[in-house]
Amino acid sequence: MLEVNSLTKRFSGLVAVDQASLSVAKGSITGLIGPNGAGKTTLFAMVAGFLNPDGGSVRYDGRDITQLAPHVRARAGIARTFQIVQPFEGLNVQENIAVGAYLHTADANEAMRQAAEIARRVGLGADLAKASSDLTVAGRKRLEVARALATKPKLLLLDEVLAGLNPSEIRDVLPLVRDIRDQGVTILMIEHIMQAVMNLCDKVYVLSQGRMIAEGEPRAVCEDPHVIEAYLGHGAAERLRAEQAHA
């Protein structure tokens, strides 16, 4: 569904993403992990069209979209959330989601109806009239997902939707992500929380210092010595094993 080939981005001499490639199969949940500053969000921005790559290509549904503007990609079915949640402050929850729904309908009543429905789906059903700024962090994350869902995406790019949530909130959101996939939306997610990656992802890519250093089934990747060396560090491998024992 999504093919990223040798994507490269330089910021004034610094190579943020260096010939990174990945592919996302239709109907899968694919993870993108890596230490802070590895270039994950930069890679995402290039996939969603917010940054122009200095090299490489992005193919989606068999067509080259490397040069397309973000809103054109959104219309083609690519939706993204932002790592730092960005609600439209002047609009309430329902209106926020409706902005996404307007992609497929110009009718205000229809957009608001769809927005209410999606709000229920992500667990914001009771907060329709709330100002988006009054939501909790978890609520804002849900709003971020709901808005993206309202555009009826085929491919959803989730940028750390779990960051900043407490463990019980994470447990609530995991089924939501799986549920979205089960509704037929392919997902590519950046995630730091290994428990979530282990739980959700069919396949994982590891980005370190702009380079793709490993890929494969989550468990295998985590045992990959390259990954442990370059990304997790020595102590973390132990901790991970302990975490898995609990899960």
Partner 1 sequence: MTRPRLTTLAIIVVALAVVPFLGLSGALLNLMIFMMIIALAAQGWNILGGYAGLSSFGHAAFFGAGAYAMAVLQTRFGVNAWIALVIGIALGALVGAFIGFLSFRSGLKGSYFALITLAFAEVARILANSWNFTGGAAGILLKLQTGLPYLQFADRRYFLLVALGFVAIGLVVSWWLEHSRFGAYLVALRENEQAAQALGVDVFAVKMKAIAISGALTAAAGCLYAQNYLFIDANVAFGSWISIEALFAAIVGGSGTVLGPLLGAIVLLGLGDLTKSVSGGIPGMDLLVFGIILVLSVAFSPNGLVMLMKSLGLRAPAKAKEA
- Closer CB to partner 1, 112 or 240, in the complex: 112
Least separation, in Å, of the C-beta of 207 and partner 1?
21
Q: Does 95 bind partner 1 (CB under 8 A)?
A: yes
Q: Does 98 bind partner 1 (CB under 8 A)?
A: yes
Hey, CA dihedral for 134, 136, 142, 145, is it positive or negative? positive
**Nearest-CA neighbor of 115 among 134, 92, 138, 131?**
92
Least separation, in Å, of the C-beta of 48 and partner 1?
6
Question: CA angle at residue 196 from 192 to 197, to 5 degrees?
Answer: 70
Among 1, 22, 33, 74, contact with partner 1 (rule: CB under 8 A): 74
Q: Does 117 bind partner 1 (CB under 8 A)?
A: no
Q: Does 69 bind partner 1 (CB under 8 A)?
A: yes
Distances, alpha carbon 112 to alpha carbons 43, 101, 154, 166, 175, in Å: 33, 8, 21, 30, 25
Tell me the three state secondary structure of residue 31: strand
Which positions from 36 through 65 interact with partner 1, judged by CB under 8 A?
48, 50
Q: Does 203 bind partner 1 (CB under 8 A)?
A: no
Question: CA angle at residue 148 from 201 to 157, to 5 degrees?
Answer: 35
Question: Assign residue 153 a region: left if phi > 0, alpha if psi is -120 to 50, beta otherwise?
Answer: beta
Among 14, 106, 245, 247, contact with partner 1 (rule: CB under 8 A): 106
Of 54-62, 76-84, 191-199, 235-243, the segment contacting partner 1 by CB under 8 A is 76-84
**Interface ranges with partner 1 (CB under 8 A):** 48, 50, 69-71, 74-75, 79-82, 86-92, 94-95, 98-100, 102-103, 105-106, 108-109, 111-113, 115-116, 128-129, 147-148, 150-151
